[in-house]
Every structure is written in structure tokens, then in C-alpha cells.
Amino acid sequence: MSKKTLSITIDGKPHAALSGQLVIDACQDAGSFVPFFCYHPRMTPVGMCRQCFVEIESPRGPMLVVSCMTPVVEGQVVRTTTDGVKRAQQGVLELLLANHPLDCPVCDKGGECPLQDQAFSNGPGESRFVEEKRHFEKPIPISNLVNLDRERCILCDRCTRFADEVAGDPLITFISRGTNTQVLTFPDQPFSSYFSGNTVQICPVGALTAQPYRFKARPWDLDQEESTCTTCSVGCRTVVQSSRDELVRYQGVDIDTVNWGWLCDRGRFNFEAVNSAERLTTPLVKGDSGLVESSWAVALDVAARMLRTAISVGPESVAIIGGSRGSNEDAFAWAMLADALNINQRDCQLADGLPAEIFALPQATIDDINRAPTIILLAPDLKEELPVLYLRVRHAAEKRTTRVIEFTAHRTGLTPYAWRSVQSEGGKLAAAVQQAGSSEEISEQLSRGDVVVIVGRTNLAESPEFVVNALAEVLHLAPHALVLPTLRRGNVRGAIAAGLTPQSDAGDTADILVAAAAGKIDCLILLGADPLADVPDADLARRGIAGARSIIAIDTFLTASSATADVVLPAAAYGEKIGTTTNLEGRLSTLAQKVTPAGTSRPDWMIAAELAIAVGKDLGISSYADIHRMLIDNVAAFAPARDDKRIRHEGVLMNHAHPVGLARSDSSVADHNSFKHRLIVSRKLYDGAQGTAKSPSLAPLANASGVFLHPLDRARIGVPSGVEVKVTSDRATLVLVMHESPDVMVGTAWIPFGQPGADVRELIDLQGDVCDVRIEHI
Amino acid sequence: MSNQYSTPGQIPTGPRLISGRFEIADGYTYGGYVRTGGYVALRKALTSMTPKQVHEEVKAAEIQGRGGAGFLAATKWGFLPPDIHPRYLVVNGDESEPGTYKDRLLMELDPHQLIEGIMLACFAVNAAHAFLYVRGEMALAQERLAEALNDAYANNMVGRNVCGSQFSLDITLTWGAGAYIVGEETALIESLEGQRGMPRLKPPFFPAVKGLYMQPTIVNNVETLANLPAIIKDGGATFRGIGAPTSTGMRMFSVSGHVNRPGVFEVPNGVTTFRMLFEAPEYCGGVRNGGTVKAFIPGGASAMWFFDEHLDLALDKPTVDKAGSMLGSGAIIAMDQTTDMVAACWRIVRFFARESCGKCTPCREGTTWLEQVLRRILDGQGRPEDIDLLFEISESISPGIAWPPLQTTICPLGPSAVSPIASAVRRFRNEFDHYIAHGRPISGIEDVLNPSGIHAHV
Amino acid sequence: MSRLNNANLTLAREIMARFPRPKSAMIPLLHLAQEQDGHVSNEAMIHIGELLGVTAAEVYGTASFYEMFKFEPIGKYCINICTNISCHLVGSWNLLHHAEDRLGIKAGGTTDDGMFTLEDVECIAACTEAPALQVNYRYRYKVTPANFDQLLDDLRSGRTAAEIPPFGTLSRVRQHTESTWSNNGIEAQAAIDER
């Protein structure tokens, strides 16, 4: 939909501005520089800094206006360089600088500071302000990740506006009045927003600084390149910045299609894990005394021998788990190797993902969220799992362009913004959708145009079939609905499309582990996968890993699973290798290499190529260019990546297979008996994932241990909140601290995944449909 | 009624349209109000007039808003977009302009008159809910209004089906908590929404279109509304016949400072002169100690100052506007020949610096800086270049330092701080220079800051 | 030091019901908290946030904009001497200095016995009666040093107790009417929000 253009004049030159545009943006488009501090194109203009003055012609002569609050109108005449404009801008600048400290040499922002830049190019040169400057206590932490220096603050309202308007976490506000105004949190209530790092990025001065970047580098020492965040599957566009061959910072890049410049804190700060001293730097081979350091030649030779031995028993005795943490090229190289050896048992998901049939449905894009009048959520809490997707949905709901219908077992980050929030425990999701569909207002809403269904694993303690069935019900109610699958790991879609998904009816990860436990797997390849930590069924994972006769692990860290391997091959991490990746909507975009891989670690694709040679199946890959070309030439889904320019910025959508439908099936599950609670397991943003656990700034934030019960259930059990209880399933008994929470449904017990302390995975049996637990006091 | 007060020198008088109950002991009670002709206009409107007719009467009265800007009240009402509901009336009782206190008296001494005015305004503009926002520091006004509202509700003068008519209205009484800027109408709306009282940008947020809760909203001053019962009772034409055609009706002026009998007077609008107010025995009875007026402020602290050459100007909006200042909120402050103009200038600038909301840079930083420079001059630490600096900073807040002021700020508060500087420094440059050179006022000046006569730094 | 007590909670709900949107009750509720405790405590701000559906930070942001709200205990009597222009011209500084001497504190301070807080304030709208002051927002006009001393005596001895309640109490008369009609407005607003 193209917007109407308006003819205006900027600095004497005709310019075609877009209808609805602000003068400040039109000036930028026209190449006329207008300085500003408070304006941000992704937030409501407030006109507070008063720096962006321009002159417009009015019936009463030229008029000074702030260009961030003035919409373009047909025939408008704008001047940005008149004496009046310059005088006003310089006057405001002098006032901004009056109380601003002269500590640029020790300020993280120095060198990339809009205020500093303006002061140099347009400033008074010398201060006439001889009075005492405003003083505040120098930087105070406002959260674990962000420091605030109120002396540097120019009160532009960007951070506070972001917190309120974009993140929905108004935990920082203006306090006091006039010259005493300052940005502050409420006493003892830190700015614990998942999006706090964005405030640092958009601060136009050095008032907000990020603890993980503090004093790490000067902007002029930084080397940077655009890339895509793969922490989750949203695929936010970033710049990766390094100094002296070390990653020091990620910044969000504004692309319309995905992240609008925002990042979540987990994605922004987990570069620390790449720099971790615990990274694997050299191959390890199991000897009599456990894993010992080895050379690539020896390690590849050992691995190749194990693989050949297993293949000689039969390709069905080999399996590959993982591959969703690397690039499309990594996945494709391993898929080529698997093809060459006829290995059909391969799965990039860890029994916590979605069945492949969902990806064969008509797919939505992230941007469809802003177009569709209706969004249906059959998904985990987006704020916890896919934070920037949460921002997009929240934005659409707040702008009232979209109505959100949510089905969830517990209150989520989007519940306050949902038009209708239907509480439903997972096993009854399809029935809940059916029932909602029988309501007139919902069916009327569904008929209002496009419907986007966001689908994901709402509960890791139950079978994914319930979500699939609920989705089938939605598609029955709204056959035109488009599907947006949510996935935990960065490149699941790319890995599936590249072929790391069960072939010819072979088993998935759960089946592979069952087979391994039964002694049917001779060689298990763990491709950046840690089943012992990630597969929701801890017992199955343990038995599977123990039952595999040999294990080859390709990993960046020695994880619980890779520590049991016979050969561990160190892999290059994010930022250490180039490639392309695929986000949850199927958008292909680039990954940048910014630093040298740790130690002797290598990209996954290279390891596949070398292992292939070692087993006598040369794949013909001798460079990244080779594997990239093979990928786009041989896999239709990736063909659009030929558009080299677009994948380097806003990305390009992969080719989707021809859509197939989803059959409805009855899947209701029996009620649990009244002495039990249905177990709900979902993720928090911060958990035991390697990227978080190995990032010192983030690791302490994984602190949501415990079992959460509705107040009525707590009262029935008769134990006060904050006391340890026994949680017993058919599998195991765990001791967890119980918390009362009205956000949880009556009759359910919610336990966050991957938190410190007792591991909820011990309770879960993947063979069962649902998991019920008994809760008793000790 | 013809204008009978135009003879020069003669002291004009007129009916006390809105202050008539000030001396009646129980004038603030429901009984006292009804006994003295209260709620007659409301009954008249509800039984024999349409909303449009009420609007027309107010239009005919040509009453200018009494809050400061002096905009025609009926015209303001006319900006409401038709057929958008809910729409609200917000009563601005946050009187805080230095020198002004007529609204406080109107609320304390005749609260029912205000309530009746609110009812008439809401009837005229079809609003179903009014908010009466009283200044936080006015405890007595809050008590009197709460009592009056409770009584008015009990007597069916407010609430559902007022006086048995089809008209229903709720009035919510609320008050502020100490912030001058909330007197600005968009800041008042922010405050009423539970926010920090920081002004909104106009455009795009003109209250009549997007006001309280982004709904059409009329913000009227207390005195403006208090006039409505008289206008409806006697007709707009009668009201218009009082005062001058360019400034109709009676108007409340608070005269303070160096006069013998400071006071709040209801005077015929547009015809009385400043000299009359200062000198006439009916009003202030002359400058104190038989002295002369060195300067005076004609319309609150935000106004440009006037001097002896302005004494014979009439209190008439166009006249005063043309002379380079404003009548504003009707606060007139007289300063005699002993006044320390540097100190007076500083004191007013300090007010704006303390009351700046902090939202926009030029006001937040500029007013504070101006205050610091003036304080430094008073403290004997002035430098010759400080005079230029004062003008340069003023220029950054109010380009051209003109009247009416241009502004780089969001609202008029910032430029208000420029008025005393432009007035005092231009006229009394010698006093500033003397402070800078000698660290004390010129001789013959009363040192009010240091009454003992000993300067801290000298 | 505490959340709103039950009586004030009931009042708070009544006040909220008088506005189309609960957040509009922010300032009235803060006054209620200050009336209860003599200042606005952190616990009260958290409580008000819960009632109005906003964060404590937002409550604090609004509250701290307005100078009548105190976040720590102050004197039982807050004496506000106006020094703005009309009072400035006729002796308010003299009065303020006298008050500082007499109370042994500077403007902004509180006496050790917790009886008096002294403030140098902006215009209190009593300009023709200058120099003027307020005690807990009750007026005293044309105040001389001598009648200031008398005022202190009266306050100390309790002679003024009937007229001047302890700091925090503003109007002792409350609007007790319920919205009888304009809830229609609330419904209309809800319909607009819905759109």
C-alpha cells in the first residue's frame, strides 16, 4: 500500500514527502540535516528537547516550529538553515550544555554521542555558564545491567518513553520537577525490564550505560558489521561490534520487517558467552582418564572411525541431534554428510519443538501482525520466549490496530493487552478454541479480515499434539488464518529446510533417545545439542545418552552431554563465522564474522566437510562460498538468498512449500484427579541456556525457581507461600519452594523450565500426554 | 445600557455582578445563596431555554475568559466538535499567578455561584460531567466547595435530572498539590489524568478537540463561569452594556504592592484606568507614604511591566495589549520609587525558575540560569558581561524578546520569565550596573532582601 | 509508613468511582495517604499503584512533581511564608528571617521537636494581605514579627487546633455524592476505548 505523496519545498528544493510524515523525517529524506535529541522514529514525538527547529512559511511570515511535532502539508515551505533556525538551535544547545558535565573523556558515549557531535559542529565553543553545575550521585545502578548518570542526562524522555510506550515496563520515570527533574526508579524497585539495554542504545548522551560494555572500548576502536541475532528465532537485526578481536557490544538495527531497532537484553548481552574463558578451544578425545586435549587430525580420525564402524552396522544405528544453533550452511553441510551416509535419523529440535507439518501450513510474517485485525495466541509467553515478537504484538494491540485472542494456562506478558484471554490448560486447548469459536463476538471478529495464529509449545510437560489439534480447530474456524510458528532456538527453520529433520519416517529426537536407550544407536552425533539439559524428559535423555555406544559432540562448551562424548570437536560460535540464518517466519538474513574463532574451533560446516573426507565421502566443500552456493543452488527454499543485497539488511523470505492443511482430531484428555495438579512447564527469558549461563551479567538473572500455585490451591494444601514442598509425578519427587500466584490457573502447578535448583524435567515423561503432580508439605 | 462611565477622571462604578455576596455572612451557604437570587438563572435556563440559546446569550455578552488569555468564552465553546461524547468541562480553579486571588475569593465566599455557572456552561455545551479542579493550597475553598456541592446535590441542583428537567450532570471536585504550571490548561488536564502536570503541545492537543482522556474538553476559569448566572439572568446584552465594548462586563482586579489599601475590586471592565485604581479613595487610596509609582505590573508576573506613562491607560484588553503587555489574570502590582528593581526582577524570575515543569530545555535550563545570574548580581558577584548574558539567554527562550512573546518553549511559562528582565533591565539599567559595580543597590532604594542593611558579600 | 487503612481504602474507592478513569484519582489518593501518615510513604505509593493499576514508579513520578507531597515526616505544622513579589515588596523577607531566627531553622528545615517546618513558598493568593503565610494551608494575613510570635504560641498551646488540623489534612469536608449520572460517560468512554 503506497502512501500519498505531498509536494513540499525544503531549503529551496522541491521534495515529495509522504502523507502523514513529520517534517523532521521529510528533511532527513531530502538530505537536509536537522539536529535532534528527543525525537525517535519508533516512538511518539514529544517535542521536549527543542533542538529540531525549522522555519516554515505561514500566512504571518516565517514561523519557527519544532520539526518533530509538525506534520507535512501540501505546499509547505521549510527552511532548515536560516539565521533564525541556527540561532534557536544554538541557543537550545548552549542551554543543554549548561549543566552537562565535561566528563566526555571518561564517558562510554564519547565518540558516538549526539550531544558531543552537536556541540562540536554547532556549539558555542566556550561555556558562559559560570554557575555551579547540577550535581547528582554519579552512576547509580538502576538494574543489574544498566547504570544511570543523572548529571549527564538531558531529560529527553527517550528511555522513559521507551519503558512505558515500547516495553510496557514503566519502571523508570521522571521524578521531581523543573531543574531538579531526574530519571529514577521507585526505591528498591529496579528497572528490571527484559528490554533495558535498548534505553542505553537510544540515550542521546552517556546518561545510561550498559554494565557489560562499561569502559570496554571507545567507539573509534570499534569494528562492526551487520548481523542477525540467533539467540531466539525472531532474528533481530544487529550490528556486532568488536575491539581488539573481542566482541564487546551488539546494537539493534532498525528494519521494518522484524525488530524495529530493538533487542532483548538476553540477545544484546550474551556476547559475554562468546568471550567466555570456558569456551572449548581444542578437540577432546576420550582416553582412559576421560577427555583429553587432542589435535584436529587425531580427533577427526577417531570420530571418523566411530562413524564408519556404526555405518557398517547400518545407517539406522547412527543419529544426529541438533543443528539449529548454527547457520543454514552449517545445517546443510551436515545434511549433505547425513545424505551421503544415508543417515535418516536426524532432528534439529530437542523434543521441545513443533511437528514439521506446522511449517507446511500457510505462513504469516512478523509484519502481518500489524496488518491482521486478529491475532490468536496458541503460544508460550512471548515476552519470556521471543521478547521482540512480544514487542511487535504488544505494539499492534496498543495501537488498537489488532485484537489479540489468547489461550493460555497462566497469565502472560500479553494478557494485559489481549482483547480476550481464555484460560485453558494445554490438554484442553482444542476444546477451549471450539468453545470460543461458538461465541458470536469471536466468530464475528475472525471474519474481519486476516487472522494470524501464533503457535508454539504452550507446555513442555505435555505432548505437542494438543497445540496442533487446537491449531486445527482455529483453521477450521478461520480457514484463511496464517500461521506464525514460535521456536526457541535461532535457526530451527533453516535447519529443517536444509534437511536436519527426520527423513523417510525416521524417528525424531525422542525416538532417537529411546532407540539409544535400547542399545540401537552405535554413533550419536550431537550437533550443538545438549539433550541432558534440554530434552524435557530428563530420564529419557539420561538413558539415551548412556545407551549410545559412541558420541561425537560438536559444541562451543563442554556441556552435560558433550562431557559424556568420546570425541568433542570445538565449534566456532556466533560472531566467529559467516553464514546465513532463517528466523521463525522463514526470513533469510546474514550472519557476520567479527572475531577469530576461539582457539582452534571451526565452523560446523567445515567440521562436516572434514569429517566427510575422513570417512571417505568428500562433499566438495572447500570454502564458505562453496557451501553457500551449494545451499542456494540445491535447496529451493533458500533460492531467494541469491538476493545478496537484501539478505544483508532487511532479509528475504524463503520459499515455502505448497501449503497443506491440518486434519482435525479429537484430543481431549481426561481430567486429573482432584488430589493432583496438572503440571505446566514453560520458559522464562533467563534460564540455564549456555548463552545465558556463560554470560556473567545474565547468569544471575535466571532465578525463577519454584512451583507456582493459585491461592486457592495453596490454601487447600495449607502451606504458606515461600515454603518448600514435595512435588511428585509418576517419575520422581522434587523439593521446590512453593509460591502463591494468582497468575496460575486453579488446578495447575506451574514450574519454570531450566531454573537453578531441582530440575522440573525429572518429573516429565515424554511418553505420556500430560503430566500430573501431587503436592505435599514436607 | 449606554456606557455612562466614559468621562475622563470620573471613577466608573458598576453593579457587583459576582462579588455581591462577599459581605453577606451566609452567602456561601445554600440557604444564603438561594435567598439572594441564587439558582434563578439555572431554573430559567432549564425551564425556558435551549442549550443553544444559553450559548447565544453568552455569545451576546462577549465575555472574555478571565483566566489570562482573554479569549471569548462563547467562541471557545464553539470549538467543540459536534456530536462527540463524552465531552467534559474542566473548571480551572488552580489560581496561582502571583498577584492574583480573585478566584479563591469566588470559591470561598460564593461557591454556589460557581456551581451554577458550571451547570449553565455544561447545559450550553451538552456536557454530562464537569471536573472542578481547585488549587491544592486552598483548604478553605475546598471545604466550602465540598459543602456547597453536597448541598447542591441534595437539592437536586446537580446530579440526575436537575430540577426535574431532562438535564443531568455530575461535578467531581478535586484539587491539585502544588504546581503553578497546572494552571496552564493542558497541564491541568494532564494533572487531572493523574500525571505530572506538564503541558501538552498545541498543536496537536487543543483541548476542545483532544482534551481530557483525548475527548473534547472545555477548560474555563472560575471567574468566567461565575459570571454566567448574571449573564443568563439579565441577558447577554445587559452584560455587554457594562464596561467597554472591547472588554465587557465587570471584572475582578487584585491590586497589591505599594498602595495604601490593597484589595480585590470588581470594576467595570475596559473603562477604569490604572491610575484610578491606585489613587481613587474608592479603591487603593494612593501610593504608600505619599510616594509615586515607579513601575507596575498590569496583569500578573508573566506580564511586561508598565511605568508612569501607562497610568492613564484603561483596563481594556486591546488597549493594554497594544501598549505592550497584558491584563492577564487581573493582578496589578504597584512598585513605588523605593523599589529595588534588581531584587524585584530576580524575585519574579526565581518564581518561574522554581515553577518550570522541566519538560522542555529552554525553560528548564534557561529560567534557572537567568535566576542564578540575577542572584549573583544581587550577591555582589555580578560581571559587566552579565547584562548581555541575561539578554542572550532570554533570546534563547523567547526569540526577539518581543511582545506578544515568541517562544522556543512548549508553553508560555518560559517567556514569562523574560518579561521582568526585558522590563526591568531595559528601564532600570543603571540599577543593575550599580549592583555589578558596587554590590549594592543605588541610594534611596529599600533593601527588602536584607532589611538590616548589611549585605552578605559586601 | 503504611498502606492505606481500611477506612481510607473505602474512601479511595469512592473517589476513584467519581472519575471515568481510575488513574485520575492519583492526586486525591496521595492526599489521602498524606492525611493518614503526615507524609506519603513508599508503602502508600505502592498501594496506590495497585489500586490504580500503575507502577509504583509512575505514582512516585506524579507525586514528586507536586511540592505539597512530602516523602518523609515533616513538622506537625508546616508554616509557608510567601516571598513572591507582592509579599516581597512589603516585608516578607524580614518576616522569613525573623521566623528562621525564632524557630532556629532555615527555610526547608524542621524543628527538632517535630512541631514546625518552615518553607519559603511561591504566591499563595493572598497578595493584597501581604505579607501572608499559611499554616497547614490555613491563612494568616499581614503578618508582622510580633504576630508571628503570637502564632507560634497559639500553635504550641493548641489554641488553634480547631481551625488548623495537623499537616496532611486539607479539606475536612468531603464530597460524599456518588456519580449519579455521568457513569453513562464512563460507559461511553469504554465504548470509545473498545474502538
Tell me if B84 sits within 8 A of B216, measured CB to CB: yes
Which residues in chain C (11-30) have CB-CB distances under 8 A to chain B?
Answer: 18-21, 23-28, 30
Kind of pairing between the strands at A677-682 and A748-752: parallel
Distances (CA, A) of A402 to A44, A389, A438, A450, B156: 19, 14, 21, 10, 44
Question: Using CB atoms within 10 A of its CB, is residue A134 exposed (0-12), middle (13-18) or buried (19+)?
Answer: middle
pLDDT reported for residue B270: 93
What band does B14 get if pLDDT is binned at 50, 70 and 90? confident
d(CA C30, CA B176): 10
Q: Is A356 helix (H, G, I), strand (E, B) or coil?
A: helix
pLDDT reported for residue C184: 52
pLDDT reported for residue B452: 62
pLDDT reported for residue B2: 31
Q: Is residue B3 over pLDDT 50?
A: no
Mean pLDDT of B408-436: 97
Look up residue A350 and give its three cell numbers.
Answer: 530437542
User: What mean pLDDT, rounded, does chain C reach?
Assistant: 92
pLDDT reported for residue B236: 96
Point out the least confidently predicted range of A283-287, A400-404, B60-64: A400-404
Looking from the CA of B181 toward its CB, the CA atoms found within 13 Å total 32
d(CA A718, CA A703): 25
pLDDT digits (tens, 9 = 90+) for A677-702: 999 999 999 999 999 999 999 999 99
pLDDT reported for residue B1: 29
Q: Is B353 on the interface with A (CB under 8 A)?
A: yes
Using CB atoms, pick whichever of A173, A176, A188 lies closest to residue C58: A173
Look up residue A424 and give its three cell numbers.
Answer: 485453558
Q: Is residue B93 over pLDDT 90?
A: yes
User: What mean pLDDT, rounded, does chain A reach?
Assistant: 95
pLDDT digits (tens, 9 = 90+) for A54-104: 999 999 899 999 999 999 999 999 999 999 999 999 999 999 999 999 899
In what helix (H) or strand (E) does residue A557 lie, and over which residues does it extend?
A: none
Using CB atoms, pick whichever of B364, B392, B399 lies closest to residue A178: B364
pLDDT digits (tens, 9 = 90+) for A729-758: 999 999 999 999 999 999 999 999 999 999
Look up residue A62 and give its three cell numbers.
Answer: 516565517
The residue to which cell 553441510 is assigned? A333
d(CA B139, CA B137): 6
What band does B5 get if pLDDT is binned at 50, 70 and 90? very low
Rounded CA Rg of chain A: 28
pLDDT digits (tens, 9 = 90+) for A529-578: 999 999 999 999 999 999 999 999 999 999 999 999 999 999 999 999 99
Which residues in chain C (45-84) have CB-CB distances under 8 A to chain A?
Answer: 45-46, 54-61, 64-67
d(CA A401, CA A403): 7
Q: Is residue C195 over pLDDT 80?
A: no
pLDDT reported for residue A125: 77
Which residue is closest to A187 within chain C, CA to CA?
C42
pLDDT reported for residue C181: 62
Q: Is residue A591 over pLDDT 60?
A: yes
Q: What residues form DSSP beta bridges with A652?
A: A588
Tell me if A290 sits within 8 A of A502, measured CB to CB: no
pTM of the model as a whole: 0.95
**Long-range contact set of residues A159-165: C-beta below 8 Å, sequence gap at least 24:** A159/A183, A159/A199, A159/A202, A159/A203, A159/A207, A159/A208, A161/A40, A161/A43, A161/A44, A161/A46, A162/A40, A162/A43, A162/A195, A162/A198, A162/A199, A162/A202, A163/A191, A163/A193, A163/A195, A163/A199, A165/A43, A165/A44, A165/A398
Phi and psi, residue C169, nearest 5°? -90, 120
Query: How long, in residues, is chain A?
Result: 778
Among A175, A98, A90, A184, which Cα is nearest to A133's? A98
Using CB atoms, pick whichever of B196, B203, B365 lies closest to residue A99: B365
CB contact under 8 A, A177 and B356: yes
Q: Is residue B9 over pLDDT 90?
A: no
Q: Is residue C178 over pLDDT 60?
A: yes
pLDDT reported for residue C131: 97
Q: What is the ipTM of this complex?
A: 0.94
d(CA B21, CA B216): 34
Mean pLDDT of A357-371: 94
Q: Cα dihedral sign for A251, A252, A254, A255? A: positive
CB contact under 8 A, C88 and B347: yes
In A19-117, the DSSP E strands lie at 53-58, 61-66, 77-79
- pLDDT cut 70: percent of chain B above it: 96
Among A611, A457, A429, A603, which Cα is nearest to A534's? A457
d(CA A775, CA A761): 16
Tell me if C128 sits within 8 A of B262, measured CB to CB: yes
DSSP code for B356: -
d(CA A330, CA A348): 12
> How far apart are the CA of B238 and the nearest CA of chain C, in angstroms?
31
d(CA A194, CA A523): 40
Higher pLDDT, B63 or A425: B63
Question: Using CB atoms within 10 A of its CB, is residue A387 exposed (0-12), middle (13-18) or buried (19+)?
Answer: buried
d(CA B237, CA B62): 9
Look up residue A31 and give its three cell numbers.
Answer: 538530505
CB contact under 8 A, B406 and A177: no
pLDDT reported for residue B456: 42
Choose, out of C134, C182, C183, C193, the residue to mutate when testing the contact with B (most B CBs < 10 Å).
Answer: C182
Tell me if B178 sits within 8 A of C34, measured CB to CB: no
Q: Is A177 on the interface with B (CB under 8 A)?
A: yes
Q: Is A87 on the interface with B (CB under 8 A)?
A: yes
What band does A2 get if pLDDT is binned at 50, 70 and 90? low
- pLDDT cut 90: percent of chain A above it: 93
What band does A425 get if pLDDT is binned at 50, 70 and 90? confident
> How far apart are the CA of C64 and the nearest CA of chain A, in angstroms?
5
Phi and psi, residue A406, nearest 5°? -115, 135
Which residues in chain A (95-154) have CB-CB distances under 8 A to chain B?
Answer: 95-96, 98-99, 128-129, 131, 154
Please report residues of A whose CB lies closer than 8 A to that of C57. 170-173, 184-186, 189
Among A148, A137, A9, which Cα is nearest to A80's? A9
CB contact under 8 A, C65 and A172: no
Is the bond into A170 cis (omega within 30 degrees of 0)?
A: no
CB contact under 8 A, C57 and A174: no
Q: Is B351 helix (H, G, I), strand (E, B) or coil?
A: helix
pLDDT reported for residue C187: 54
Q: Is residue B457 over pLDDT 90?
A: no
Angle made by CA atoms C173, C175, C180, in degrees to the nearest 5: 165
Which residues in chain C (74-113) have CB-CB distances under 8 A to chain B?
Answer: 80, 83-86, 88-91, 93-94, 97
Distances (CA, A) of C167 to A347, A494, B16, B89, B133: 71, 67, 37, 32, 21
Question: Using CB atoms within 10 A of its CB, is residue A74 exposed (0-12), middle (13-18) or buried (19+)?
Answer: exposed
pLDDT reported for residue A671: 77
Q: Is A493 helix (H, G, I), strand (E, B) or coil?
A: helix
Mean pLDDT of A10-33: 96
Query: How long, in residues, is chain B?
Result: 458
Which residue is closest to C46 within chain A, CA to CA?
A186
Q: Is A187 on the interface with B (CB under 8 A)?
A: no
A491, amino acid identity: N
d(CA A80, CA A53): 8
Q: Is residue A198 over pLDDT 70?
A: yes
Using CB atoms, pick whichever of C46, C61, C195 lies closest to residue A175: C61
